[in-house]
Chains A and B, each alone.
Chain A
């Protein structure tokens, strides 16, 4: 299968040297492991026979045993490391490849998959794969070497006894085959069930206010206890299997030693078999059974690993589905943006989200997009920024079809503030600057960057009205924000995202509903600051700008405003013209204007 071939060639093959050496070590280990009982048996036989050289004989054997003990420590350690470390390297490589690929996949993909699921693939599934090529591979290879060696040594010592004592072991092994699969199935179910209990608990905790205001605690408890009891029942069933079924293989080994005693002692008495063989056999048998048991436990890891790789491979083989790159783009000056009869439908949408949009924005001008929730304005921005790929012949930048431009070039030409501002877990400074090879190593680099004054940063902080907020933060600009840092308010996040886009300073600027969480006073200041900043950067023209908002005060100074409703342009004109028309725009303006000064 292509999937297996991919896995073997991409990840296993580079690690063949350590695996090969590991194999050698396994062979050495098992040779020693098998030799030890043989030596012990020999020594015991010598002692029984009480020949003239007996003491010297046993003592030299004892010394050999000592040496072998030291050897086994070395080769066993090496064999483990030589299998485990490649496993880890595979885990690393697969994880890196998965992440890299995920970064190349676009919005249509992310609309269908949950982030939690993807994180699980990149972490849990890579762990399963690691266990497959590390731990499981070790055990399987070990057993592949151990069993023949054990059987050989046993047969060489006494082939009849070998056959006798293997009978119960064979039964035990077959029984285990069936049981192990069932057992691990139950364990998997129990993990899922625990997750369900956890979900239920979280649900009720989240809605605790409702539960308590309706004095429904007893009912909530019942709701939880239902799942809790289910889980307990399953745990008890698993316990039964674990107690009575799983030890069967080990038990069969012990039965085997009983047979060794029965048959073997007969043979010692009748056929003069050396008595030491009894000890050898018992030890070898228990060792063999130990290896078989390890194999049984490992089978579960193998099947999990295979399933996990299947998921990973499916992900890695998902194409980014991008159109061909035909026309490179290098913008030196703010471009002319044209939308010609743009209609757009989401990949699994029932109907088009945008109908027949015609807009032209001359270089350096500002377009305002106005509309209520659900009017299509965010969709329009997403198409413009190629978060969703626009249809052919609809979006043009300086006359070039946006589809034909390499995505990296296209994105490099613009600075965007998306609707819900996202901050990285780094300093506020680096969240805005996004500079440097590694914006995430902010903590370590803070001392160096602090020293360098950044006029641009100061400018954008002023424009975004962030100075007051910066002062309130514990470490000012070097405060770590985001999930693992200080949580900023919605308004602060929006302004930081705006600062980020302004700092980037590109020929195209898109601002999607950035002032929704800001009060009117601050909004007014920011709007004028944006205008000033756009034209104020030394020596450069103001970027072609698109501002989206549902507040008319924000769009006042745009060169043209289009009003969207249900994905169509219903009105267009300047602010003044639209007010005069008395349509939706004007209505909203009155309503919004009526609120306090």
Chain B
């Protein structure tokens, strides 16, 4: 997924996105409203101050009205204080609304992603999903807190000042603001060039850093082959590219910044030049105090303009992020379970009736299961064997509803009759039907958490967990390391492969599923742990229906029934002895030791 290569969304798309976004923001509209309502107050206070000065200069000072001046000055202080408080409330309220909204968005995205069907995770890289949940949401946050609200504040302030200026003297306003269009054009042009340059800068920097990361990752190879100088030269070359890009950008940045100082001086110069005659005329339209006010306004009106175009760019980037986030939120999730909904599988004892099961991964993909029909009795252990590509892994995935869309019938037998698998919600199914694979994932948390996965029903009971560990012969192991509270390292880093396998089995034992699907794929563990693993598997096979994708001879021998799959169909079925006697596919697989084919295949 090359997100960076998509074009920026258009203005209409942006508006549509923002409208949709309102749903999130609306939850916090009280804070939002408070913040927004402060904006005109702040602008009013700020605009009022020069008018007070005007009054002082034009009326109070010439009249030598000391009392009046004192009162006015106090009023001025009050206005300053009020402005400070209102602005503080405004900033806090808007930030609060912004941050809580973003927090909600992040929760929504996360919750949505963890309920997406497996197919989605197959097609999308983890990195891309992470970016959407984090960086894109962060980009929104920036825009909200600093982009949108700032623009609003600035616009109101500019309008307020403009209003005051026009009220005082329309023609002076016109004269002094002749510099404004020049400013706009300059800022737009230089701003656009600058943004383009900054993009180049970012790309050059990414190239240099990417190169560095790669070289360091393979530093041994670089050193063994004596490529240090070549690598260093290339890094310098990339660095030079980055450097010259930034130097060019710096000129434009400096110009843009410096223009603000100049523009303000220009407009004041125009003001003085053109207003002087009127001021000097007795009873002229322009008073000295008015000039005072104008000088103040002119020094403030241009400041927000410079930030403007930059903020627009931020909003555009946020729109792109928003688009990606909604793209994710629009993906359909698995059917959710309503709170309080009953699980129809509670009376299920593990009996399965599969008739003519067909399944393909994609809509137009080939069938990997081509019409399987078999039964599993409650408490029966069925071993499934076959070569890679025979469909044995797919069988497990269909049964746990990780992939939907099977054809044919899978009936779970209950006293009330058979329940079709596709009619039951996946969450309900998974409470009673568990699949365990070789690839064990462990959280960086306590052993207890890793066994019960944070659910507060039966599985989290410490006694139950200890019993589970006991069952799989991992109890001593865990006790030696400090018991249930022992912290498992990142991805199980501080445990050996065999030990993580035992923990996975403990998870199953704690849950006591009605039907277990066990994928036994070989792992290279030392013989002591291998014994423990085998023993644990033995224990897990007791007292429930099991479908085991077998690789160990011991497991196969233990099974009540063996199903041999070949190219998506059942080739042979029976007990070990029966099948050996046949001397067919099973016998062949048995002699080869059920080894997986070589990993070099695509």
Residue numbers of A with Cβ under 8 A of B are 29, 33, 36, 40, 43-44, 47-48, 50, 54-55, 58-59, 61-63, 65-66, 68-70, 72-74, 76-78, 80-81, 84-85, 88-89, 91-92, 95-96, 99-100, 102-104, 106-107, 110, 115, 118-119, 122-123, 194, 197-198, 201-225, 228-229, 231-232, 235-236, 239-240, 242-244, 247, 251, 254-255, 257-258, 261-262, 265-266, 268-269, 275, 278-279, 282-283, 286, 373, 385, 387, 408, 411-412, 414, 416, 418, 422, 424-425, 434, 437-441, 482-484, 489-491, 500, 504, 517-520, 522, 595-596
Contact = CB atoms under 8 A, between A and B. Distances in A.
A387 B220 contact: yes
Interface residues of B, number: 138
Contacts of A205: 113-114, 126, 129-130, 133
A519 B221 contact: no
The 9 closest A-B pairs by CB, nearest first: A69-B265, A219-B454, A76-B258, A207-B441, A239-B95, A491-B600, A243-B92, A80-B254, A262-B73
A201 B130 contact: yes
B114 A61 contact: no
Contacts of A266: 66, 69
A489 B600 contact: yes
B262 A73 contact: yes
Given A214-B453, A219-B453, A411-B224, A265 B61 contact: yes
Contacts of A438: 230, 233-234, 237
* Residue among B73, B113, B114, B295 with most chain A CB within 10 A: B114
Contacts of A416: 224-225
Given A197-B134, A490-B599, A99 B232 contact: yes
A contact patch SS: helix
B524 interface: yes
B172 interface: no
Interface stretch (B76-84, B533-541, B579-587): B76-84
Contacts of A198: 130, 134
Contacts of B246: 88
Contact of A55 (B115, B280, B400): B280
B273 interface: yes
B434 A214 contact: yes
Nearest to A251: B84
A115 B92 contact: no
Contacts of B261: 29, 33, 69, 72-73, 76
Contacts of A220: 114, 453-454
B374 interface: no
A411 B226 contact: yes
A247 B90 CA distance: 12
Given A54-B276, A88-B243, A418 B268 contact: no
A223 B276 contact: no
A424 B556 CA distance: 45
A36 B225 CA distance: 64
Nearest to B100: A232
Interface stretch (B209-217, B314-322, B354-362, B468-476): B209-217
A540 B130 CA distance: 54
Contacts of A262: 69-70, 73, 76
7 contacts: A91-B243, A208-B121, A224-B107, A262-B73, A262-B76, A275-B288, A439-B230
Given A211-B114, A215-B430, A269 B61 contact: yes
B444 interface: yes
A40 to B, nearest CB: 6
Contacts of B292: 44, 278-279
B225 A99 contact: no
A206 B126 contact: yes
A59 B273 contact: yes
B266 to A, nearest CB: 5
A251 B80 contact: yes
A327 to B, nearest CB: 18
A218 B288 CA distance: 70
B151 interface: no
Contacts of B138: 194
Contacts of B89: 243
Contacts of A66: 265-266, 269
Nearest to B224: A416
Contacts of A50: 280
A40 B268 contact: yes
A519 B73 contact: no
Contacts of B61: 265, 268-269, 275
Contact of B130 (A58, A202, A212, A418): A202
B91 interface: yes
A72 B250 contact: no
Contact of A47 (B211, B237, B291): B291
B21 interface: no
B592 A595 contact: yes
Contact of A242 (B95, B291, B400): B95
B99 interface: yes
B76 A258 contact: yes
Nearest to B460: A219
Interface stretch (B52-60, B364-372, B566-574): B52-60
A36 B49 CA distance: 21
A439 B228 CA distance: 12
A423 to B, nearest CB: 8
* Residue among A70, A76, A198, A258 with most chain B CB within 10 A: A258
Nearest to A89: B243
Given A219-B455, A268-B61, A261 B213 contact: no
Nearest to B78: A258
B223 A119 contact: no
Contact of A96 (B76, B77, B239, B455): B239
Contacts of B209: 119, 122-123
Contacts of A491: 599-600
Contact of B269 (A69, A418, A518): A69
B227 A439 contact: yes
Contacts of B222: 103
Given A223-B454, A418-B220, 14 more contacts: A43-B276, A61-B272, A62-B272, A69-B261, A78-B254, A85-B247, A91-B243, A92-B243, A103-B222, A214-B434, A229-B103, A239-B99, A482-B214, A595-B595
Nearest to B433: A213
Contacts of A212: 114, 118, 402, 426, 430
B218 A422 contact: yes
Contact of B600 (A269, A441, A519): A519
A518 B99 contact: no
A385 B129 CA distance: 41
B214 to A, nearest CB: 6
A482 B511 CA distance: 43
Contacts of B254: 76-78, 80-81, 84
A489 B602 contact: yes
B64 A269 contact: yes
